[in-house]
Amino acid sequence: MSLSNSQEVFEAGLQKAYYGKQQAVEAQQALIEETTDGTVKSALENHKGTTQSHVGIIENIFEKLGLDVKGDTSKGLDALLNECQNLVEQADGDFPKNSLVNEAVLKLESLETAIFQGLQAQALLLDDGTVLESINQILADDQAAYNEALGAASALTESTGSASSEEEASNEEESDEESN
C-alpha cells in the first residue's frame, strides 16, 4: 500500500490500532483464564471492558471519517502476543505464571500506547479535534491500565515477599528444633 498523504497515513495507523485492540481483547481473555491472582485478574477484567469500548470508539472514528471499518494486521503485535503466550505456558507454579501474565499486560499496554501516540501525531496533522479527543481518551485509559498493572506487580511482589519471609521463619524454627 502506497501512502501519499496524511489522511492515508492516519487511515493505515487506524487500521492497525483497530486490529490491535481486537487482538488485545482476545489476549486479555486468555490471560484472565491463566492467572490465579485476584488483583491481576481484576485488573485484566477491568481493562478488557475498557478495551472493548475502545474498539467501539475506533469504529466511530472510521465512520466519522467516512472510512470502511477494517483492521490491518500488525506483525509486531502478533509477535509480542505470541512471545507472551509462550512465556506464560512455560511458567511452573502460580507466582511465575501470575508474574508473567502481569508482564504480558505491561508489554501490551506499552505497545498500545505507542500505536495511539502515533495516531495522536497524525490526528494533529489532520487538525481534527474530535478524532484527537477520542485518541487522547484511549491514551489516558491505556496509561491508567498500565498503572493498574504496575500496582498489581507491586502487590504480587509484596505478597511473595511476605510469603517468603513466613517460609524463612518457618524454616528457621524447624532448624532450631532439629538442633535442640
Domains identified in the chain and CATH numbers: 6-175 (1.20.1260.10)
- Would you place residue 14 in the very low, low, confident or very high pLDDT band (cuts 50, 70, 90)? very high
In Å, the largest CA–CA distance within the chain is 82
The backbone torsions φ and ψ at residue 137, rounded to the nearest 5 degrees and listed phi first, read -65, -45
Q: Does the predicted TM-score (pTM) go above 0.75?
A: yes
List of E strands, 58-167: none
Residue 152 · residue 43 · CB < 8 Å: yes
pLDDT tens digit sequence for 150-163 = 888 888 876 665 44
* DSSP per-residue letters across 38-88: HHHHHHHHHHHHHHHHHHHHHHHHHHHTT--------HHHHHHHHHHHHHH
